[in-house]
């Protein structure tokens, strides 16, 4: 019989990851606040639970994929009331401070926390090509690796709680910076009469190449789709968390402070539910141009 695991949080990232586990032969017990999300998994053979605690009373390993640190804290506290759970794997982005606090609270209940944030977006979650950043007891992480490898490439970051979160925030800070800076460069080019598609071709053949120039601007901005699948509010949250953690660690981030201000403005003016690639619209409005294909 396939190993049973619990999965809580079936959103844009959680649903495709959970579906990959089902396809890999794992028997899932799932929970989400949205019944339609649960239904998508039960239609594939997963079993629904009435609450996070019910999931944790049915299996010994529970995975979380949740949007914000407060929600992760709340759900982890609920999970800790389960009668069977021994390991909680957090795939969310919470920051190292929250991860350490959650790990300590779970440890008090005899539960081991593994922080295992992922990067690669919805497309990566669907394809199983995510970067999976794992931090926790080495032997336990090695035992969990075959399951986590269903999501993508597994990297062991370290044994201390929160180390995976630190890695994830550093990664997402670079992604956020690339998107914001590339948006500025392309709007500048269009305002000066350049073709944005040609700009991306040149940048991608040269030293300015980055994730935004290779993927987000050509596929989402120039086409005006704005459907990358990662919300502005979540990107702003990640950047804000990263700078908070950096300040606590005593690491200066002057460039990133400006990046945070731009994402804060995008969150305020475009709305947290807007697609992250829509940040270019702030610059388009100010410049009086639109970045689109000819």
By annotation, the residues acting in catalysis are: 168
Q: Which residues contact 162 (CB under 8 A, 6 or more apart)?
A: 95, 96, 97, 99, 100, 103, 115, 135
Are the CB atoms for 68 and 237 separated by under 8 Å? yes
**φ/ψ (deg, to 5) at 230:** -125, 125
Residue 53: C-alpha distances to residues 85, 92, 121, 162 (Å): 9, 18, 28, 23
79 dihedral zone (left: phi>0; alpha: psi -120 to 50; beta):
alpha
Are the CB atoms for 180 and 280 separated by under 8 Å? no
């Amino acid at each position: 019989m396939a190993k049973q695991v619990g999965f809580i949080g079936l959103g844009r990232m959680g649903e495709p990851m959970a579906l990959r586990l089902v396809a890999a032969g794992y028997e899932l017990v799932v929970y989400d606040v949205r019944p339609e999300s649960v239904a998508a998994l039960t239609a594939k053979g997963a079993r629904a639970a009435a609450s996070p605690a019910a999931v944790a009373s049915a299996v010994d390993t529970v995975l979380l994929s949740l949007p914000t640190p407060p929600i992760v804290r709340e759900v982890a506290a609920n999970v800790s009331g389960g009668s069977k759970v021994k390991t909680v794997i957090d795939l969310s982005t919470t920051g190292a401070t929250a991860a350490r606090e959650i790990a300590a609270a779970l440890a008090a209940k005899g539960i081991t926390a593994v922080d295992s944030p992922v990067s690669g977006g919805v497309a990566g979650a669907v394809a199983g090509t995510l970067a999976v950043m794992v931090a926790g007891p080495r032997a336990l992480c090695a035992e969990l690796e075959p399951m986590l490898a269903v999501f993508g490439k597994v990297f062991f970051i370290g044994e201390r709680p929160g180390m995976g979160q630190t890695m994830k925030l550093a990664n997402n800070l670079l992604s956020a910076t690339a998107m914001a800076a590339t948006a500025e460069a392309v709007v500048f080019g269009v305002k000066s009469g350049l073709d944005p598609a040609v700009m991306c071709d040149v940048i991608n053949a040269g030293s300015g190449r980055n994730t935004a120039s290779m993927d987000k601007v050509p596929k989402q901005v120039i086409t005006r789709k704005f459907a990358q699948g990662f919300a502005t509010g979540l990107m702003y949250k990640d950047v804000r968390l990263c700078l908070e953690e950096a300040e606590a660690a005593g690491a200066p981030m002057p460039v990133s402070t400006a990046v945070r201000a731009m994402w804060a403005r995008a969150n305020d003016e475009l709305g947290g539910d807007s697609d992250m690639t829509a940040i270019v619209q702030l610059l388009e409005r100010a410049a009086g141009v639109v970045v689109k294909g000819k």
